[in-house]
Structure 1
Amino acid sequence: MAAILDDATGTVFVGGAGPGHATPETLLLRLANRHGLIAGATGTGKTVTLQTLAESLSLAGVPVFLADVKGDLAGLAQAGSDQAKLHGAFQSRATQIGVDLDYQAFPVTFWDVWGETGHPVRTTPAEMGPVLLSRLMGLTDVQEGVMTIAFRVADQEGLPLLDLADLQAMLIWVGQNAADLSLRYGNVTRASVGAIQRALLVLETEGGDRLFGEPALALDHLIRRDDQGRGMINILSASRLMTAPRLYATFLLWLLSELFEELPELGDPDRPVLAFFFDEAHLLFDDAPKALIDKIEQVARLIRSKGVSIWFVTQSPTDIPDAVLGQLGNRVQHALRAFTAKDQTALRAAAQNYRQNPDFDIAEAIQQVGTGEAVTSFLQPKGVPGVAQRTLIRPPFSQLGPIADDQRRAILAGSDMGAVYDTALDRDSAHEMLARRTAEAGAAASEAGAKGKDDDLFDMPPRTGTDKGTGRGRPYQPPKPATAPARGRSDSIAQTFGKSLARQLGSRTGQALVRGVLGSLLKKRR
């Protein structure tokens, strides 16, 4: 029987020999960071291939991060069973390809942006940055420029942007001080600020208010092993996240960027530091500007030296831009259907991405492979692409399909990540700092107004004559509204405004309103 992990050769078993092929297919661990592709039509076995690769990498001590789009991959946390309805088919496949069907559970940590089916996973606007945030909200170049200015000013003023409320407050401040900022950074219009605020509102309704906050996800908590030396499998619950595809794609791209920036250079390690599976990868590239695609290509090319292995999972290789596709050295191609002219074009393009095998026609093989079978090509010891082969993918050792809710709750309760992430933090940040400044400005305006009224009493001219109705001298005439009354009117407005600000600070809505007038008040104080 073939071993799933061969430490002597540094390989993991992927599948057994298919028709016309006598040698099992293996993935060379030291070349796994050349990235990979899992493609195929719906229902052809992509999810099972992803599951078995995650199992094999975990057994090799490689931590894994993957998105569970349909809830099926949660089964990695439970051992498969000989009572399962597919046990007979799995046993037959295992015997055919020469491996033991070793049912077992794998170490799993569940994550969820909404914090419902996993530990909350968060980041901050400051960590994501203006470029990715602009991509997330679909901003124009002009609006992205205004967003960049807001981040720059927040940094200079010492105003941390930790959640959406902080960013919204900062944008209001920018809008109120647009004239001054335009002189330093270029044109800033209230129309652009308003458009960004509307995009933020849409993002908030899609779950952005859950994504942004603290404690932010620490990458060290993804790169862990259990006490048996198996890599931790981090599963991001994405079934609800898929209703906001731009949020899903941007979050995973941010995570890749963070890994690229924070991990040290390793050169060519003997096995990956982390394997990253990007399911529904086409969402990353749909309507993406060229600058973003260039960024993804750069990350894919350079992150390999950090020891990160990226696997794109999608229906067709044509979903991936050529510049990125060229970085994917390990490939598993499940069946594609060619019912239309467009499908036939995609089929021919997929076949051309493989090193030709004289024993069979690759385009025909891609149409003919059954469920759980694929056309594969893995890098050879010198980094050369392997000849395309028809491969029978090994059956999974863990449970195929979702797990019960009580099983998920038990895993979450036993995870040490709960103590770190389950309780949200609300540190002092831009939202609170700007609210305090506004309150102080309001109090100062109120004090100035009261002082102005006192000054009016002393500035009143003396009366000449007696009160009206005495019949002596001129009747009383109020002072002419030349100086003091004008100042008193202005101060009265400021006083009323300051008191209103103080009352508004008691509620979240009030705080949002208060932030809108911060700029003009601060200008008066200066």
Structure 2
Amino acid sequence: MTLVGPGLDDERRNALQAVHFNSAVAPDDIWSPLAHHVPELHGPVAAELARAVASAARKPRSTPIGVVLRGERGVGKTHLLGWLRQEARARGGWFFLLKLLDDRSFWAGAVHGAISGLNREGDQLGAMLDALAKATGHTDESRLRLRGTIPISREYLDELVDRVRELDPQVALECQDTLRALVLYRARGRPSEVGHRFLALEDGGIDEADRAEWGFHLRSRSAQLVLGDLSRIFALTGPVVMAVDQIDSVITQQPGSSGLVDRLADGLMRLREETRRTVLVVACLPRSWELLSEHAVNSAASRFAVLDLRTAMPSAGVAEAIVQRHLGALYAEEGFAPPHPTWPVARAAFGGAEVAHSTPRRLLQRVEEHVRWCLARDVEAELRDFADGPAEVAAPEVDAGGLAELDERFARACEAADVTSPLDPAREDELVPGLLSAALRCYAVEHGGDLVLDQPPGRKPALHARLRLTLDEASEDEVWWSFRAIAHGHSTAVLARLRSACLEAGVFGGTGKRRLVVLRGTPFSGGPQTARAVGELVAAGGEVLPLTPEDLRVFSALRELVGQAPAGLLAWLAARTPASRTPLLRRVLPPVGDAGSQAPQRPSAHDEPVWPEREYEEQACALPAPPPQHAPEPSWPERGWPAAEPSRLAGSLFDPESRWPATPAPVPTPTLIPAPAPTPSLIPASAPAPAPVVAPTSPPSADATITLGADATTARPFTLPLVLLRKHVAVFAGTGSGKTVLLRRLVEEAALHGVSSVLLDTNNDLARLGDAWPSPPEGWAPGDADRARRYLDGTDVVVWTPGRESGRPLVLDPLPDFGAVRGDPDEFRGAVDAAVAGLLPKLALSGRRLVHGRAVLTEALTAFAGRGGRDVADFVAFLHDLPEGASTMRDATRLAPELADGLHAAIITDPLFGGSGHRLDPGELLRPAPGARARVSVISCVGLPTDGQRQAFAHQLQQALFAWVRRNPAGDRPLGGLLVLDEAQTFAPSRGEVVSSASTRLLAAQARKYGLGVVFATQAPKGLHNSVTGNTATQFFGRLNASAQVQTAVELAAARGGRVDDVSRLGAGRFYGATEGTGFTKLRLPMCLSHHPQGALTEGEVLARARA
């Protein structure tokens, strides 16, 4: 029975909404990390698989016996393959998931599956090439080129083949073309296309010019030989597992076809014979293996060991562990602590008789049914018996106010959607999967049926999304709807993508249960090969359709709502059916309520692809033309500003005032969006309005967070707790990466929470932090217009110009306030050492005099500070007449007056060392003006032209700030302030000591205790001191160019368990980000809130802002 409790609160509702409908594991789920493996479920079988991999690891030239995982649907065959993948990788091996998709392309499908897996699971191809290069003695630079981190050239391919010849002459001789193709496929740009064409296009292969340029012997190679090459090449560096998990669905497509079974059996047996050091694992239903065994030649089937997976649940404890680990992994992602580990399933439910006869899949399906039941009725209820259906409690009426609020949010998100970037060939693999995934997930919710969405694809995917519907669980008969966007203009690249998509979608089975939709906004080229490929696609049940602006707006808005998971989202989707009403899904998928009753409708073999200029020629909103095919990657910003006015959405799908249906029902075709109007400027052309008075704000709460962009694939916001900024931030990124935008946005978001910042501006690109955009920029996220107003209205931006009297000169005391640290012996000694490091460069000491002078200065300053002194002029006088006992050095009385004279001379000659200007209490840098939330102090280096001057000033600044925060700690506030150091390697270099080294390391180690966070930004991670890097809890990696810096970034990320291998290929505004307790996520950052044009300010413009 189900006990119904009170309504769900927001926290528990959000947690249950994270329990997605994924109990039917699809083959691509094999590549996902296993957070819910239960060893006791199939322990003996797992042990046999582990022994097979271990044997292959010990015997490099062996041909291991094959393995068959035989079991009914839902017992965990695919899950066990996912475990096997992790086991193989843990033993230094490799894993391929072969795709046997139809009866006419066994070898092509197998190669396609292998190639698809090269870029999955942490980049197997790059890891293998690196291991092979290391085993054959390549230099660090060669290794970086071979794994695609920096550009490759012919000479490195030739060198690799020569070195592999020393390792295994036969492999080098017979497999060298495939080896060359693998290296090129891992590279960037056109070489990658060449590699892909050789590996994937058996007919035609590569051009003759490419063959000669890259040293191939032949233009193409048969799929059967390519697959054998892959096994032998990867086996040079570890054991290989090749798994097959779709035989049942292939057989089901053509029941009773003995020819099909013969071909599958022959292919599997030959595959096992032609691979090296490779464990072939076939997962299938008992009936499928029986058919294959009957049709295998002679005793070939005996070369496979059959491992049976039992259907019955071993025990109640195993059943409980399965549910607990599945729910626990999802709850952990949401930061939710459930009332007990299996909530909302009572522990008593696992003792029922129904559990003993349930497969893991059925168990999870029942849990998901219960979760959906709770969410639909917004009640908290525990499932107490798996044999019972949900309690019959009428669902509450839909709250009109809640629907209206979500209608408005949806409309705003549609308005702000970017309808151009997803059509860019360079970005379709990044953007389209997330858009389609959100739309199809919402479509599945709107239908309430048993639809399953494949996991998001990896790098260089064959498909961008796939939706599955199970027709018969016993035979694993399924209907597939597959989607692939192809915007590329080069005919050879288009052919390779079409071929891979057709193979992955399985459209050539001839049953009508596999449908592929190719999304393209312009006609294909008129070449004969392309025309033939498109004709075959259409004849096999495929279609070519455009992604209209309306589709893109709705998909983008749904992605945003799914990421935010607001209360009432499921009820809103059921009532409004926004995904089902889009032009694309309305044409391709069954209408609401019919998904389970029909397979995809096959278009006629003579149907023409539908092009936008034909079907949509009457629309006012034309499909944007794709950018030039070989144009350089656009610089930041990239994302478009919303293009439609709210008033122009009237009557369309996005109009919040339109009448939505109260219940799911078919609706008339919505009006498409008219042509976008010019975006109105946020700042009127007339005289500016009086500045508003900003009401005083309370300090940020202890759990306050800031958002810095979103996951580039899922659009989930990347949030940072303010308190984690105490533990410092590192930004590793080069020119053109968007580093300055990231730094500015970080400062702006902190200011919105009332946190002040001090920035050392070395490149004149931060002094505009107080400037408003003249018009809304590209790249702003929804709501950024309002955030920009609040930031500018509530932030006091001051530009300081040390060394420039004509601006706002700034002088800091050369000595810190020792009184703040006098009570802590360790910090007091650290402050003295840092002060001495700042004074020594003024004294021109060397050799023995430097050693003795440092000792005298240290002891004298310790005595001076211990007596309450802090002014440098007083310290000069103290040295001139050094008190007895102030130093234990024998020559102290002789050296001290010389040191005093040197410091006195520095005061006279160096305006920054006790000279003229505003001698500042460092707290003034962080203290906002009356009425402001926060202050942003930008310290320009226009008056500090040399590194030495900048290091000296930074040293004084860091000493002063540390002493000030020591006296004024943040207390219970999450963050007291931020210090931003751009070009941080200048102030704490990895080699040698400069005047600012000690104070920078002191801040990195100690400032967090008092609430001061430091942001260290550099384009040379190799040049930054490792103690600084090691003290940063949050790290961002943007595009880097120099090979040495790229290698350092890869190593730094690996030390945190992450991979940033493509860091040299990231676009502007793309970063990998990670913070305490999270892994690295590829992020897309929004534009900053303050004006950031391309060029830096001139010195005159900086001085003018300083005087303002």
| Same structural fold, with TM-score higher than 0.5 when normalized by the shorter chain | yes
Q: Does 1:113 align with 2:810?
A: no
Deviation at 1:55, TM superposition (A): 0.9
Q: Does 1:208 align with 2:912?
A: yes
* Separation in 1, partners of 2:1081, 2:1039: 13
Q: Does 1:142 align with 2:852?
A: yes
1:377 aligned residue (1045, 1053, 1074) = 1074
What is the identity, as a one-letter code, of the residue corresponding to 2:1034?
A: N
Deviation at 1:263, TM superposition (A): 2.3
Deviation at 1:56, TM superposition (A): 0.9
What is the identity, as a one-letter code, of the residue corresponding to 1:66?
A: L
Q: Does 1:28 align with 2:728?
A: no
Q: Does 1:282 align with 2:985?
A: yes
| Alpha carbons of structure 1 residues 150 and 9: separation in structure 2 relative to 1, 3 Å | closer
Please give the residue correspondences for 1:188-203 in structure 2 after superposition, counting only pairs within 5 Å.
Answer: 188=892, 190=894, 193-194=897-898, 197-198=901-902, 201=905
Segments of structure 1 that go 5 or more residues without pairing to the other structure are 414-526
* Separation in 2, partners of 1:182, 1:26: 52
Q: Does the CA-based 8 Å contact 2:977-2:1013 persist in structure 1?
A: yes
1:15 aligned residue (706, 709, 722) = 709
Q: Does the CA-based 8 Å contact 1:338-1:347 persist in structure 2?
A: no
Q: Does 1:389 align with 2:1081?
A: yes
Name the structure 1 match of 2:1050: 348
Deviation at 1:61, TM superposition (A): 0.8
2:1048 partner SS: helix
* Separation in 2, partners of 1:182, 1:378: 47
Deviation at 1:14, TM superposition (A): 1.0
Q: Does 1:368 align with 2:1055?
A: no
Deviation at 1:8, TM superposition (A): 11
Name the structure 2 match of 1:500: none
* Separation in 2, partners of 1:119, 1:125: 19
- What does the per-residue CA deviation read over 1:159-194, in whole Å, with 9 as the maximum and x for residues that have no partner? x66355x555554445xx9xx779966422646754
* Separation in 2, partners of 1:44, 1:285: 22
| Alpha carbons of structure 1 residues 306 and 350: separation in structure 2 relative to 1, 3 Å | same
| Alpha carbons of structure 1 residues 257 and 344: separation in structure 2 relative to 1, 3 Å | same
Aligned residues: 380
Name the structure 2 match of 1:225: 928
1:109 partner SS: strand
1:330 aligned residue (1034, 1038, 1045) = 1034
- What does the per-residue CA deviation read over 1:218-271, in whole Å, with 9 as the maximum and x for residues that have no partner? 2432332355552110111223225213313312331343135322362xx453
- What does the per-residue CA deviation read over 1:394-451, in whole Å, with 9 as the maximum and x for residues that have no partner? 11121225389589657745xxxxxxxxxxxxxxxxxxxxxxxxxxxxxxxxxxxxxx
Q: Does the CA-based 8 Å contact 1:66-1:276 persist in structure 2?
A: yes
Single out whichever of 186-195 and 324-333 deviates more from structure 2.
186-195
| Alpha carbons of structure 1 residues 296 and 408: separation in structure 2 relative to 1, 3 Å | closer
2:892 partner SS: coil
2:939 aligned residue (221, 236, 248) = 236
Q: Does the CA-based 8 Å contact 2:817-2:960 persist in structure 1?
A: no
What is the identity, as a one-letter code, of the residue corresponding to 2:706?
A: V
Name the structure 1 match of 2:1004: 300
Name the structure 2 match of 1:310: 1014
Q: Does the CA-based 8 Å contact 2:1073-2:1082 persist in structure 1?
A: yes
| Alpha carbons of structure 1 residues 163 and 183: separation in structure 2 relative to 1, 3 Å | closer
- What does the per-residue CA deviation read over 1:74-110, in whole Å, with 9 as the maximum and x for residues that have no partner? 111111111xxxx6xx42x22xx54534544342122
Name the structure 1 match of 2:1097: 402
| Alpha carbons of structure 1 residues 408 and 376: separation in structure 2 relative to 1, 3 Å | same
* Separation in 2, partners of 1:147, 1:40: 39
1:208 partner SS: coil
Name the structure 2 match of 1:37: 730
| Alpha carbons of structure 1 residues 184 and 40: separation in structure 2 relative to 1, 3 Å | closer
Q: Does the CA-based 8 Å contact 2:706-2:750 persist in structure 1?
A: yes
- What does the per-residue CA deviation read over 1:264-295, in whole Å, with 9 as the maximum and x for residues that have no partner? 362xx453111111222212223555999677
* Separation in 1, partners of 2:708, 2:816: 41
- What does the per-residue CA deviation read over 1:355-413, in whole Å, with 9 as the maximum and x for residues that have no partner? 43xxxx5221x11112222111133xxxx1x2212212211121225389589657745
Q: Hey, which of these two has a bigger chunk of helix by percent?
A: 1
Q: Does the CA-based 8 Å contact 2:816-2:960 persist in structure 1?
A: no
| Alpha carbons of structure 1 residues 289 and 119: separation in structure 2 relative to 1, 3 Å | closer
1:363 partner SS: coil
1:225 partner SS: coil
Name the structure 2 match of 1:131: 833
Deviation at 1:72, TM superposition (A): 1.7
Q: Does the CA-based 8 Å contact 1:124-1:216 persist in structure 2?
A: no
* Separation in 2, partners of 1:155, 1:302: 20
| Alpha carbons of structure 1 residues 46 and 55: separation in structure 2 relative to 1, 3 Å | same
Name the structure 2 match of 1:263: 968
* Separation in 2, partners of 1:306, 1:168: 31
Q: Does the CA-based 8 Å contact 2:1049-2:1060 persist in structure 1?
A: no
RMSD: 3.9
| Alpha carbons of structure 1 residues 134 and 396: separation in structure 2 relative to 1, 3 Å | same
Q: Does the CA-based 8 Å contact 2:772-2:1090 persist in structure 1?
A: yes
| Alpha carbons of structure 1 residues 217 and 76: separation in structure 2 relative to 1, 3 Å | same
Deviation at 1:10, TM superposition (A): 2.2
Which of structures 1 and 2 has the larger relative contact order (alpha carbons within 8 angstroms, sep 6+)? 1
* Separation in 1, partners of 2:736, 2:897: 45
What is the identity, as a one-letter code, of the residue corresponding to 1:402?
A: L
Q: Does the CA-based 8 Å contact 1:71-1:237 persist in structure 2?
A: yes
* Separation in 2, partners of 1:301, 1:404: 35
Q: Does the CA-based 8 Å contact 1:118-1:237 persist in structure 2?
A: no
**How much identity, in percent, do the aligned residues show?**
20
Q: Does the CA-based 8 Å contact 1:117-1:237 persist in structure 2?
A: no
* Separation in 1, partners of 2:767, 2:887: 54
Q: Does the CA-based 8 Å contact 1:333-1:374 persist in structure 2?
A: yes
* Separation in 1, partners of 2:866, 2:1047: 53
Q: Does the CA-based 8 Å contact 2:811-2:912 persist in structure 1?
A: no
1:352 partner SS: helix
What is the identity, as a one-letter code, of the residue corresponding to 1:390?
A: K
Deviation at 1:200, TM superposition (A): 6.4
What is the identity, as a one-letter code, of the residue corresponding to 2:1072?
A: V
Deviation at 1:303, TM superposition (A): 2.4
Q: Does the CA-based 8 Å contact 2:811-2:917 persist in structure 1?
A: no
Name the structure 1 match of 2:755: 62
* Separation in 2, partners of 1:350, 1:203: 42
* Separation in 2, partners of 1:279, 1:30: 22
Q: Does 1:162 align with 2:871?
A: yes
| Alpha carbons of structure 1 residues 184 and 391: separation in structure 2 relative to 1, 3 Å | closer
1:313 partner SS: strand
* Separation in 2, partners of 1:273, 1:7: 12
Q: Does the CA-based 8 Å contact 1:125-1:212 persist in structure 2?
A: no
Deviation at 1:347, TM superposition (A): 3.5
2:928 partner SS: coil
Q: Does 1:76 align with 2:76?
A: no
Single out whichever of 33-42 and 296-305 deviates more from structure 2.
296-305
| Alpha carbons of structure 1 residues 259 and 352: separation in structure 2 relative to 1, 3 Å | farther
What is the identity, as a one-letter code, of the residue corresponding to 1:79?
A: A
What is the identity, as a one-letter code, of the residue corresponding to 2:854?
A: E
Single out whichever of 245-254 and 28-37 deviates more from structure 2.
245-254
* Separation in 1, partners of 2:806, 2:1019: 29
